[in-house]
């Protein structure tokens, strides 16, 4: 079963910003990033528990992070009920954990 997909609004904006930035660096590169992300999204929706748990966080719900081929990005997400909720499209080398403040917008307190 393929799960539903939603994104924190800030995650969606950082995705769009990254695509534009890469395309500004080299025409077509932003589209390549978008294509790589689309592949990762399909994998996550079909096998949400396949991505490794995010290191350093053991609380409920578990946070997972799926790396993107070729680009230094990870899709950081949680699974709640029948839905994947993206917290961030996080660059691997910039501001580690910056997205944690978004958890309160997404995850119901336990």
Write the CATH number for 19.
Answer: 3.30.2310.20
Stretch 58-80: mean pLDDT, rounded? 88
Angstrom CA distances, 105 to 4, 23, 37, stand at 18, 30, 23
What confidence category does residue 57 fall into, taking pLDDT thresholds of 50, 70 and 90? low
- Contact indicator for 4, 80 with CB cutoff of 8 Å: no
Q: Is residue 93, in this structure, part of any structural domain at all?
A: yes
pLDDT in tens, 12-23: 999 999 999 999
Q: Is residue 66, in this structure, part of any structural domain at all?
A: yes
Q: Is residue 94, in this structure, part of any structural domain at all?
A: yes
Residue the block writes with tokens 């996550």: 44
Q: Is residue 110, in this structure, part of any structural domain at all?
A: no
Going across the sheet that includes 83-91, the strands are: 4-7, 83-91, 73-80, 63-67
CB neighbour list of residue 106: distance below 8 Å, 6 or more residues apart: 8, 78, 85, 87
Stretch 65-92: mean pLDDT, rounded? 92
pLDDT in tens, 14-55: 999 999 999 999 999 999 999 999 999 999 999 998 898 877
User: What is the extent of the structural domain holding 87?
Assistant: 4-105
What predicted TM-score, i.e. pTM, was given to this entire model?
Answer: 0.87
Residue the block writes with tokens 């910039």: 94
Tally of structural domains, the chain: 1
Stretch 100-107: mean pLDDT, rounded? 80
Q: How many Å apart are CA 38 and CA 63, to the nearest integer?
A: 20
């Amino acid at each position: 079963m393929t799960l539903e997909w939603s994104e924190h609004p800030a995650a969606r904006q950082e995705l769009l910003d990254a695509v534009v930035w890469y395309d500004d660096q080299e025409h077509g590169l932003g589209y390549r990033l978008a294509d790589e992300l689309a592949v990762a999204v399909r994998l996550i929706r079909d096998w949400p528990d396949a991505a490794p748990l995010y290191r350093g966080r053991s609380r409920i719900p578990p946070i997972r992070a799926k790396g993107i081929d070729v680009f230094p990005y990870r899709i950081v997400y949680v699974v709640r009920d029948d839905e994947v909720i993206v917290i961030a499209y996080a660059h691997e080398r910039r501001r580690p954990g910056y997205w944690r403040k978004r958890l309160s917008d997404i995850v119901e307190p336990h």
